[in-house]
Structure 1
Amino acid sequence: MKIEADSPQDYISKVPEDRKIPMKKLRDEIKSNLPGGFEETMSYGMIGFVVPHSLYPAGYHCDPELPLPFMNLASQKNYIAVYHSGVYADKELSEWFVGEYKKRTGKKPDMGKSCIRFKKMDQIPFELIGELSQKITPKQWIDLYEKNVKRK
């Protein structure tokens, strides 16, 4: 599902009606918990939270003109997705998240490498996403990215 939007607010205004409140709550949870230094933007057609060029001039290795992506929030065809690059790059963080998700919801998360999918809007663990958002500073993400993700 591709949503043409100029801003995060515009994006949320264009998602299906049953997703507007969960998307807004997820965005607010992420924004209020991310450590200082990350910037909110539109990234790859999604709401993005990035390390700006002012903190990481090299930018994203796939396209150095772009800032370094960290988290994204999107309304996909059949679910809402939170993409968290730290979960992809840091095994301990991934294990923490999966364990906490099971404790709090009684279920395993529906996940890909960095993608956390929410198909049932009333079962999103908003506070857990907020806690996950707190776990990595921009500096820590840059270090993880250069060690585990960036092509050498």
Structure 2
Amino acid sequence: MQSTAPTPELYLTELPEERQQIMSDLRRVILKNLPAGFEEVMGYGMISYVVPHTLYPAGYHCDPKQPLPFMAIASQKNHIAVYHMGIYANENLLNWFKTAYSKQNKTKLVVGKSCIRFRKPEHVPLQLIGELASKLTPQEWVNTYQVMIKKAVKP
């Protein structure tokens, strides 16, 4: 469900009532924990957190006009999604998240590449998502991203 909302605030007001609180809480915990330098924007129909062009002028390799994506949250049809590019690019970070999640939750973790899915709002581990948001600075993410892109584009 891609939104055409131009701002995160409008995105939240357009959600079904049963999703508004958890999505607002997710946004709040991410903003509280995200290292300085990331920016909140609407990207690809989701509330997104990016490395702006002022810090990384090259932008996203798939579309250099776009800033470098890092995290996003979205209310999908059947789940709440937290996208974190760091867990896709950094196996140690993914393993940390899986271990921390299993210690805190009895529900099965559903994760694929950069997407973490939660079927029910009450299953979203807000504190853990906040901690995950805090794990990489913009520069650390850019460094990881550049290494991953170089690996993908082998001569």
Scaled to the shorter chain, the TM-score interval is over 0.9
Asked if 2 retains the 8 angstrom alpha-carbon contact of 1:89 and 1:149, the reply is no
Asked if 2 retains the 8 angstrom alpha-carbon contact of 1:34 and 1:134, the reply is yes
After TM superposition, the structure 1 = structure 2 runs for residues 100-111 of structure 1, keeping only pairs within 5 Å, are: 100-111=100-111
Q: Tell me if 1:8 matches 2:22.
A: no
**1:134, 1:46 → 2: CA distance?**
20
- What is the alpha-carbon root mean square deviation over aligned residues? 1.0
Q: What is the aligned length?
A: 152
Asked if 1 retains the 8 angstrom alpha-carbon contact of 2:2 and 2:44, the reply is no
In the alignment, which residue of structure 1 is the partner of 2:97? Answer: 97
Tell me the amino acid that sits aligned with residue 59 of structure 1.
Answer: G
Change (3 A) 1:149 1:108: farther
Structure 1 residue 88: Cα displacement: 0.3
**2:3, 2:48 → 1: CA distance?**
14
In the alignment, which residue of structure 2 is the partner of 1:38? Answer: 38
Structure 1 residue 3: Cα displacement: 2.0
Structure 2 counterpart SS, 1:82 = strand
**2:120, 2:75 → 1: CA distance?**
12
Tell me the amino acid that sits aligned with residue 139 of structure 2.
Answer: K
**1:3, 1:51 → 2: CA distance?**
21
Tell me the amino acid that sits aligned with residue 64 of structure 2.
Answer: P
Runs of 4+ in 1 over 6 A off after TM superposition: none
C-alpha deviations, 1:95-152, integer Å up to 9, x for none?
0000100000023311110000111111211000000000000000000000114653
- When normalised by structure 1's length, the TM-score is 0.97
Could you list the runs of 5+ residues in structure 1 that have no partner in the other structure? none
**2:55, 2:41 → 1: CA distance?**
15
In the alignment, which residue of structure 1 is the partner of 2:130? Answer: 130
In the alignment, which residue of structure 2 is the partner of 1:71? Answer: 71
**1:42, 1:8 → 2: CA distance?**
6
Bigger shift: residues 136-145 or 100-109: 100-109
Asked if 2 retains the 8 angstrom alpha-carbon contact of 1:98 and 1:109, the reply is yes
**1:26, 1:68 → 2: CA distance?**
21
Tell me the amino acid that sits aligned with residue 42 of structure 1.
Answer: M
- When normalised by structure 2's length, the TM-score is 0.95
